Structure formats: C-alpha cells, structure tokens
C-alpha cells in the first residue's frame, strides 16, 4: 500500500499556495498604494529630524 | 498649615503626572500606534498567508490528515455507496475529501498562532507580578495585538473563502468532465447493447469489476466519480483509466459476483445470450454444433469471421467441427454439472458481438426443481426450443414397426416436448422473466432422418407450425405463442449434405435470434432477409 498521495493532490495544493501568494502580494501592493501619503509623511519626518540633528 | 502645603504639593504633582501622561499619550503613543498598528495588521495578514501555505503544503508542525484509500474503504470520508460492497480502495479526488482537511488545518493554524501570541503576552505580564504593569501592556501592547489579530482573522476568512471558491470551481469542472465521460461511456455501451455475461455463474452485468494491473485489487466501480474523473489512482499507486470502455482495453473485466474473468470483449461489445433447451436426447448439442459450423460458413462467405476468444470454447468448436463434418454421433452432454457458456466472437467489418450459447443437459429441463439453477434462461435475449420429431407419438404411430431401425438410429428423446416446454416456461414465469419481450425459435431437428418417410412429408420450411399442429403438438404451439413475444418455427438437419438450399440450415434459428438481439447487421444481407420470410 502506497501512501504517497497522487500528483493531483500536489497540483491542487501548489495552486492554493500560489493563490495565497498572489493574495499576499496584492494586499502588500494595495497597502503600499493606500498608505503612500502616510509613508511619505513618515519618511519626511525622519529626514527632517535627521537634518535638524546634523545641522545643530 | 503644613498639611495644606503637603496636599497642594501632592495635587500639583498628580496634576503634573497626569499632564505628562496625557502629553506622552497624545504626542508619543498615539503617533507610535498610528504607525505600528497598520504594520501589525499587515503582519497578521502576511503571517496567515504564510501559515495557510505552510499548512496546505504540510510544512508546519501540524500537517493535515491525509485521506488514504483505507479511509475510503472504511467509509470514513465519502458518502456510503448502495449495495453489498464498500467503495473501492483508491485515492479520492482532492476536492471531494482531502481539501476539507487541508483548509480546516490551515484555519486551525491561524487560531493556534493567535492563541500562542496572546497567551505569551498575558503570561509574561502576569509573571511580572505587579498590577500596574498591565497599564502599559493594555495601553500599548494590546492595541498592537488586536490589530495583528484582526489582520490574521480577516486574512484567514478571505483566504478560506477564496480557497473554497477556487476549489468549488475545480469541483464543478471535475463534475462536468466526470458526468460527460460517465454518460458517454454508458450511452456507447447501451447503443452497442454491451453487457458482461459470466460464463460460469451466468450473472449479467453492465458494470464489471476490474482488477488493478499493479496489485490485483478489485475495483468494482471504475466509472468516473469521487475516486477519479478521468483517471483513478489505486491504493497501490497505479493509475487506472476510468470508464468501462477504456478500462476494458487495458485490463480484463471480471464478473462482480464470482470474480471469473469475462470473455475478451465482454461488457464492451454487443452481448447475445441464447440458451438451447429441450428434452434429453432431443439433439440440442448437435444443433449447437451444426449451427455454429454453419454460422461460421455463412459469416466467412459474407467477409466476416467467427472466432473464439477462450481456449475452452475453441476446443469445443474444433471437436464440434470434426463431429459434424465426419457425421459422427454427438456425445451426451454431462448432466452432473451446469454448462459453461460456449462463446464465439462474431465479426463483420467494424461490427463485433459475443455470442454465448448455453447448452445444458436435458435432465435439467425435466423437472421444475432441477432447472432452478439455470440462471442463463433469465438473461437470454431469445431461446431455442428443440423438438425431436421422433419423440412425438403421432410420428412414431405413423412410422409403425417397419421403421424401428430408423427410429433407433434417431435415438429419440424420451420426454414429450410439451412437458419440457411447460416446465421451462413455468420456471421463467416464477423468476419474473417477461417472456412477452423474448423471442422463441422452435426448431424441429433430425429432419434429415425423417426425410423420405411419410410423417416428414409436410415438414419443410414455412410449414413447420402446421406440421407441429398436425402432429398433435398444437398445445405446445399455442402455449409458446401465448407466452413469448414472437415465435418462429424452423426445421434443421444437422448432418452434412442438407444445406441452406433445402431450408434446413441449422444456423437459421440462431441467425434469427441474433437479428432479434440487435446484431442483425453482422449477418449476410441475404440471410437476414431470408429470416424475415
């Protein structure tokens, strides 16, 4: 008795993992686009603080 | 006065502390949470994406339960099947069983992660042992954890729903493919009138069993379904084609009841079952032998072929051919055991059929109790009833004592034809066989021995019915015509020299019944037309 599942199982599972990866990628991309002004604000704040420190 | 100063100092200190706390909260914690909480939410989402993938690929600590062929046989994972047998030992289609376990394990992995995180944080906080530690934890850590948990739960629900959507679509595609294949397989076999007849136990099935060509495990239902749409994977790992038509090309089908190997082509080509019945010594075996030899000649002359797919039938035919061509007497059929089918494959052009002839000893037809085991009678497309003219009292009376030698040479049947017919007809009725949908070829044999004698004067093709009535077998004729959907009368000579031209061909009753079984196109056109007369 072989307990190695059929190839079709692997194909289905890999397809599901690809689906999850795509969802994660789309989520990350969406998050980046939606929060772009926030990231810009934070980055500006960080660079402003650094300039303040270096100038003083 | 001193008290007032202390109270004022405490109040000012508390105010300052509250102000500092409010300032820190508004200007430090809130911006920090504003930045960190989305990250925590995103972290929860990504963590669940990873966990789902890891769970499905069985990379995590808790791999999903694998649904094995043993589970299928035990009926733990798939709906039970009707009938006496369990499901076959094979791997189920992913979407019918395994997907449930994979997705529930993935969902449980998310729950397990959240449980671990929350238990860790609250456990560490409790371990410090001071109540005030809860203030920064609730104020700072809990919002982050809540965001993380929200992200994880939302992602898990979305991924779970998306997975079911994708698997549902796959399931629909699988279902359509399976249904189409199953329908096509069934339709083609129905059009061909293909059934599997067991040559030993006489069971007739449209769904034969197939042994795995890897491990020998018997698969009783290889049609497309929950165990495979186009291909099925046996428990041993070997792939088997689904559908009876495809499987039969690779593996020899078996009788599902007694596991006897069906004849080659069984269950996929037209199947014709013709029992020959009559009293002891009526000439049944000789009619079968002579009929097959004549049928072979007819088919060969029409560009067809009569061949044998099993050694036993081939050997019987070789013997039959030698007996008929040499004019030897036929040996008495063994009455100790039930007969195996004598199977011939008829081929003409692309058309094929398996002809099964059942020739049981006459003793089985003498008594109602003895013929109970003759299951082949129930599944017959048509029947051949053999009438020995020398067993008819009217013929014996006509012949008188002067033809005693001729009568002795004919080795007449001892039982009256009408009695044997009634016993068999009653058996068919008792077993619920709708005889009105069957055809009967009533065949008067040994016509060659009656030729030239006065009782045989009216015995010729086209007037057999009248001859039988004149011979006092009118009750037999009326009973047969009442019982069966169609009755046709034949006269046959089973010795060389009395050929087709004399209207005594021994193959004529078989050819008529083959035509009635839906395989008339196998026969030469002239023969088919001739039988319509």
pLDDT for B247-282, tens place per residue?
A: 999 999 999 999 999 988 888 999 999 999 998 888
Structure ipTM: 0.79
pLDDT band at B302 (very low <50, low <70, confident <90, very high): confident
pLDDT at B532 over 80: no
pLDDT band at B500 (very low <50, low <70, confident <90, very high): very low
pLDDT at B159 over 80: yes
pLDDT of residue B99: 94
User: Of B488, B495, B491, which is closest to residue B512 (Cα–Cα)?
Assistant: B488
- Check CB contact of A19 with chain B, cutoff 8 Å: yes
- Check CB contact of A34 with chain B, cutoff 8 Å: no
CA of A49 vs chain B CAs: smallest distance (Å): 15
pLDDT band at B525 (very low <50, low <70, confident <90, very high): low
What is the rounded distance in angstroms from the CA atom of residue B361 to the CA atom of residue B136?
Answer: 100
DSSP string covering B229-267 = SSEEEBTTS-EEE-SHHHHHHHS--B-TTT-PBPPTTTT
Contact call for A27 and B233, based on CB within 8 A = no
pLDDT of residue B494: 75
CA of B77 vs chain A CAs: smallest distance (Å): 15
- Check CB contact of A5 with chain B, cutoff 8 Å: yes
pLDDT of residue B526: 54
| Global confidence as pTM | 0.79
User: Nearest residue of B to residue A34 by CA position?
Assistant: B38
pLDDT of residue B502: 56
B154 vs A contacts (CB less than 8 Å): none
Contact call for A27 and B45, based on CB within 8 A = yes
B236 vs A contacts (CB less than 8 Å): 1-2
| Portion of chain B with pLDDT greater than 90, in percent | 53
pLDDT digits (tens, 9 = 90+) for B206-259: 999 999 998 999 999 999 999 999 999 999 999 999 999 999 999 999 999 999
In this structure, what DSSP letter does residue B25 have?
Answer: I
Length of chain B: 533
Contact call for B69 and A27, based on CB within 8 A = no
pLDDT digits (tens, 9 = 90+) for B96-118: 999 999 999 999 999 999 999 99
With H, G, I as helix, E, B as strand and everything else as coil, classify residue B322. helix
Q: Which range scores top for mean pLDDT: B312-326, B472-486, B513-527?
A: B472-486
- Site of tokens 């099925």: B232
**In the Cβ-directed half-sphere of B34, how many Cα atoms lie within 13 Å?**
12
What is the rounded distance in angstroms from the CA atom of residue B260 to the CA atom of residue B98?
Answer: 35
pLDDT of residue B512: 93
- Check CB contact of A9 with chain B, cutoff 8 Å: yes
Residue B299 is encoded by which pair of tokens? 């088919």
Residues 6+ apart with CB under 8 A from B440: B382, B383, B384, B385, B480, B483, B484, B486, B487, B488
In this structure, what DSSP letter does residue B29 have?
Answer: I
What is the rounded distance in angstroms from the CA atom of residue B267 to the CA atom of residue B323?
Answer: 32
- Dihedral in degrees, nearest 10, Cα atoms B464, B470, B476, B477: 50
8 A C-beta contact, residue B234 and residue B225? no
Contact call for B52 and A16, based on CB within 8 A = yes
- Beta-bridge partner residues of B228: B225
- Check CB contact of A13 with chain B, cutoff 8 Å: yes
**Of the candidate ranges A25-34, B126-135, B331-340, the one whose mean pLDDT is the lowest:** B331-340
CA of A13 vs chain B CAs: smallest distance (Å): 6
Contact call for B170 and A12, based on CB within 8 A = yes
Per-residue pLDDT of chain A (56 residues; tens, 9 = 90+): 556 888 999 999 999 999 999 999 999 898 888 888 877 887 887 788 788 888 76
8 A C-beta contact, residue B189 and residue B198? no
What is the rounded distance in angstroms from the CA atom of residue B270 to the CA atom of residue B108?
Answer: 55
Mean pLDDT, chain B, whole residue set? 88
């Amino acid at each position: 008795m072989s307990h190695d599942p059929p190839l079709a199982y692997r194909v289905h599972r890999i397809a599901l993992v690809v689906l999850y990866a795509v969802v994660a990628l789309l989520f990350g991309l969406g998050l980046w686009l939606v929060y772009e002004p926030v990231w810009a604000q934070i980055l500006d704040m960080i660079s402003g603080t650094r300039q303040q420190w270096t100038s003083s | 006065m001193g008290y007032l100063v202390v109270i004022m100092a405490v109040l000012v200190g508390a105010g300052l502390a509250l102000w500092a706390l409010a300032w820190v909260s508004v200007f430090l914690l809130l911006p920090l949470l504003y930045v960190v909480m989305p990250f925590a939410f995103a972290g929860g989402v990504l963590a669940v994406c990873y966990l789902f993938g890891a769970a499905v690929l069985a990379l995590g600590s808790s791999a999903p339960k694998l649904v094995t062929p043993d589970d299928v046989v035990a009926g733990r994972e798939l709906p039970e099947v009707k009938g006496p047998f369990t499901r076959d030992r094979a791997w189920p289609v992913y979407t019918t069983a395994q997907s449930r376990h994979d997705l529930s394990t993935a969902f449980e992995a998310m729950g397990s992660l959240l449980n671990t995180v929350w238990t860790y944080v609250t456990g560490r906080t409790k371990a410090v042992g001071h109540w005030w530690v809860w203030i920064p934890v609730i104020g700072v850590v809990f919002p982050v954890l809540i965001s993380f948990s929200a992200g994880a739960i939302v992602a898990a629900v979305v991924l779970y729903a998306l997975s079911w959507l994708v698997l549902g679509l796959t399931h629909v595609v699988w279902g359509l493919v399976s249904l189409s294949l199953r329908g096509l397989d069934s339709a083609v076999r129905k059009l061909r009138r293909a059934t599997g007849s067991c040559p030993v136990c006489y069971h007739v099935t449209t769904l034969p069993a197939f042994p795995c060509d890897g491990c020998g495990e018997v698969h009783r239902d290889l049609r497309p379904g929950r165990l495979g749409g186009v291909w099925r994977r046996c428990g041993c790992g070997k792939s088997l084609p689904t559908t009876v038509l495809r499987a039969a090309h690779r593996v020899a089908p078996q009788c599902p009841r007694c596991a006897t190997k069906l004849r080659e082509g069984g269950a996929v080509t037209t199947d014709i079952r013709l029992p020959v019945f009559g009293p002891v010594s009526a000439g049944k075996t000789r009619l079968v032998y002579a009929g097959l030899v004549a049928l072979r000649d007819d088919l060969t002359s029409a560009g067809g072929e009569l061949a044998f797919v099993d050694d036993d039938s081939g050997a019987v035919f070789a013997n039959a051919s030698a007996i008929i061509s040499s004019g030897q007497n036929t040996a008495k059929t063994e009455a100790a055991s039930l007969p195996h089918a004598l199977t011939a494959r008829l081929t003409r052009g692309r058309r094929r059929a398996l002809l099964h002839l059942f020739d049981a000893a006459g003793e089985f037809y003498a008594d109602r109790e003895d013929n109970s085991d003759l299951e082949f009678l129930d599944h017959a497309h048509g029947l051949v009833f053999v009438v020995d003219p020398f067993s008819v009292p009217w013929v014996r009376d006509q012949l008188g004592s002067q033809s005693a030698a001729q009568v002795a040479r004919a080795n007449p049947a001892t039982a009256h034809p009408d009695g044997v017919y009634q016993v068999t007809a009653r058996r068919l009725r008792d077993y619920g066989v709708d005889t009105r949908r069957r055809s009967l070829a009533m065949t008067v044999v040994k016509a060659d021995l009656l030729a030239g004698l006065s009782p045989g004067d009216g015995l010729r093709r086209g007037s057999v019915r009248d001859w039988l009535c004149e011979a006092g077998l009118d009750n037999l004729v009326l009973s047969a015509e009442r019982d069966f959907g169609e009755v046709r009368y034949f006269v046959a000579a089973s010795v060389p020299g009395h050929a087709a031209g004399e209207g005594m061909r021994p193959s004529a009753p078989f050819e008529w019944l083959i035509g009635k079984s839906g395989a008339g196109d196998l026969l030469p056109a002239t023969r088919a037309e001739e039988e319509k007369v």
